[in-house]
Amino acid sequence: MPLEVPMSSSSRFAAPLAAGLLVFATACSEAPTPAARVADADTLRSLPAGEIVGFAAEYESHAWLGIPFAVPPVGELRWKAPQMSPPWDGTLEALESGSPCVQVASPLAGVTTEPDGSPAGSEDCLYLNVYAPRFAPSAVPKDDAQLPVMVWIHGGGNTVGLADFYHGGNLAASQDVIVVNIQYRLGPFGWLRHAALRGEGTTAADRSGNYGTLDQIRALEWVRANIEVFGGDPDNVTIFGESAGGHDVFLLLASRQAEGLFHRAISQSGSTKTTPVAEGENWTDAPVPGGKHSSNEILAKLLIADGTVGDRDAAKEWVATRDDPEIAEYLRSQEAFTILESYLRERRTSGVEVPKVFADGYVLPRQDLIGRFRRGAYNRVPVLAGTNRDEQRLFLALNPRHAERRWGMIPEPHDPDRFYALAEHLSNTWKATGADEPAIALHRSQPGDVWVYRFDWDEELSIPWVRLDETLGAFHGLEISFVFGHYDLGPEAIGLFTPFNRKARHALSERVMSYWAEFAYSGDPGQGRDGTLPAWLAWDDSTPDSHRYVILDTESGGGVRMGSEPVTLASVLENIASDDRLRNAQERCSVYREVTAWGWGRGFDHDTYDAITECADYEYDTFPWPAAETDAEADGAEAAL
């Protein structure tokens, strides 16, 4: 994701510096001139639902935007499994993307409102975009000439984001693939469980609470039924996604409902955590307690906010004395933004904290995903996964607890030693939980069919007083531009992509796109589409020195090469204990605590932290942060990504 660079009126240097950087960014813009969105006769296609026409897009591609793949999930269909879209009359002009799903606006996610942090989007949002090389209707590939299909699942914590933020034209046209970008319900509209929503006439899918996951599955069903019309092969579909989208890729691997709908899987900076149903549903004071934003606790907030009851106790009484249909009707009668705001009133970030991806036993398994991967109880397809070397630097740089903004703009660590130590250990935690440990488990079930990467590019703007290459490094989401070969990310990307890094950056992007596309073609990234790139070898842990992952970087950073040292949570904890940049027990324990919060429940949690003897004087819930830090809250980068 691009870097957010907010302005500050408190500094007389901020405005001119911002203007200078903006001029610099404008001068080095590499985006092709946007094609006029005029219906193009060469894009006329005939789908089962009706005729559709798109336009000639950038990068010598064709694009069809805003194609409905499900009935709008509004009214009685809120919190139900998606239903197939009906046919349309006439010719659908697919020239504009569908509305973003309901979310809190964030420029980091590509959705903006005034002011930032306001509710945005619509519940009528189940649309997808298709990008293809330019083919006249008579030249659309058929039969054995059909192209691999790559279905992109956007990130954003499953609470923000939209398909239109990711232009698939360059990847499609340069690599001869079909790219499909999908949208899915977000936040409490994508994931919510309540007993009142499991009444008569509901299906197992309706009762799961995993509506966002079901939307993704429905989109894959649409691809299977329709993609041949665009020249795509329904029997060669690769799902790929980043951050929450990478998480969703792992979830689809584990979901029986997605069986047979895809044939390769790429997870970029994902995770494997699921949420117990009790956490998403129960009252916080129940025998099995729920989370502070469980559906019952949110229902209580809604009842109090509209004056139906006076306090939480009265809300609990109201719920206990109402039948399920009345509760369901009340929930469905609430305005979408009212529901979203009920998650914001006591927020700790600028996003929303929503229990999601429930281990319901129907859409998603009740068991731990890593365990299922190890046992082979999942949809077995070739898997490619990886993370960025410096995943967490962006989050720390945007968090006033860890960094300040010089001139109101440029992030600068309060304590560089601790900043870079914390970033390293948190980034390695992400590598362990999002790539290496899943690879170890998957390798047990499908040896030779698992590939892992680490993305190392860190050549952002580097001038006196502005060292984004050091502060941000290879941060979370940075690889997306290299995967899509698209760098026009707007003013939030100032300083990332410059004339000084253009040549090497483009060369690396071409390699990344080639590897991703070859994986889509064959299930093995190999040596890329033309067979000339350095060999990317499958994960192998037969010996300590066996190759495990490829490092993706420019020649000045060491080039594309294989690495052999896996990262696990156990090795992360060992490295924290021996890190001499952490000068005392309080600093080490603060890092242990941060790893606990970012560990996604695998192997290092609240209880494990409490068991560390060195940290006995630093309780988790009342941790005394080091003096270099402030008590300010994080500014929401975590929620936005």
Q: What are phi and psi of 386, to 5 degrees?
A: -175, 175
Report how far apart, in Å, the C-alpha atoms of 374 and of each of 441, 602, 637 are. Answer: 4, 14, 33
Q: Which residues are registered as beta bridge partners of 53?
A: 93
Which pLDDT belongs to residue 529?
97
Retrieve residue 226's tokens.
């329709």
pLDDT digits (tens, 9 = 90+) for 571-625: 999 999 999 999 999 999 999 998 887 755 555 678 888 889 899 999 988 888 7
Predicted confidence (pLDDT) at residue 17 exceeds the cutoff of 50: no
Please name every residue paired with 238 in a beta bridge, in sequence order, or none if there are none: 150, 264
Inter-axis angle of helices 569-577 and 585-598, nearest 10: 160
User: Across residues 28-54, what is the average pLDDT?
Assistant: 86
- Higher pLDDT, residue 552 or 635: 552
Selected residue with higher pLDDT from 534 and 24: 534
The partner residues of 247 in beta bridges, in order of sequence, read: none
Angle at 621 between CA 617 and CA 625, to 5 degrees: 65
Question: What pLDDT digit, counting tens, does each position of 367-376 carry?
Answer: 999 999 999 9
Instruction: Report DSSP letters for 53-94, one per residue.
Output: E-EEETTTEEEEEEEE-S----GGGTTS---PPPP-SSEEE-
Confidence of residue 348 (pLDDT cuts 50, 70, 90): very low
Hunting for tokens 């039948």 — which residue is that?
323
Count Cα neighbours of 189 within 13 Å in the Cβ-side half-sphere: 35
More confident residue, 535 or 25: 535
Running DSSP on this structure, what letter comes out for residue 464? T
DSSP string, 194-239: -GGGS-TT--HHHHHSBHHHHHHHHHHHHHHHHGGGGTEEEEEEEE
Which among 257, 602, 576 has a CA at the least distance from the CA of 434? 602
Structure confidence at residue 458 (pLDDT): 96
Could you tell me the pLDDT band of residue 36, with boundaries at 50, 70 and 90? confident
Contact 72, 123 (CB under 8 A): yes
The three-class DSSP label of residue 46 is strand
Domain boundaries, the chain: 382-640
pLDDT tens for each residue of 302-311? 999 999 999 9
Backbone torsion region of residue 112, taken as left when φ is above 0, otherwise alpha when ψ lies between -120 and 50, otherwise beta: beta
| 156 within 8 A of 72, measured Cβ to Cβ | no
Contact 496, 473 (CB under 8 A): no
Instruction: Please report which confidence band the pLDDT of residue 626 belongs to, taking 50, 70 and 90 as the band edges.
Output: low
* Residue 551 per-residue DSSP state: E
Rg (CA), the chain: 24
pLDDT(636) > 50: no
Residue 34 is predicted with a pLDDT of: 72
126-136 mean pLDDT: 97
CA distance 194 to 331: 10
User: Mean pLDDT over all residues of the chain?
Assistant: 89
> What is the pLDDT, as a whole number, of residue 30?
67
Residue 176's CB: how many other CB atoms inside 10 A?
16
Instruction: Encode pLDDT of 61-110 as tens digits.
Output: 999 999 999 999 999 999 999 999 999 999 999 999 999 999 998 877 77
Dist CA 377 CA 531 (whole Å)? 33
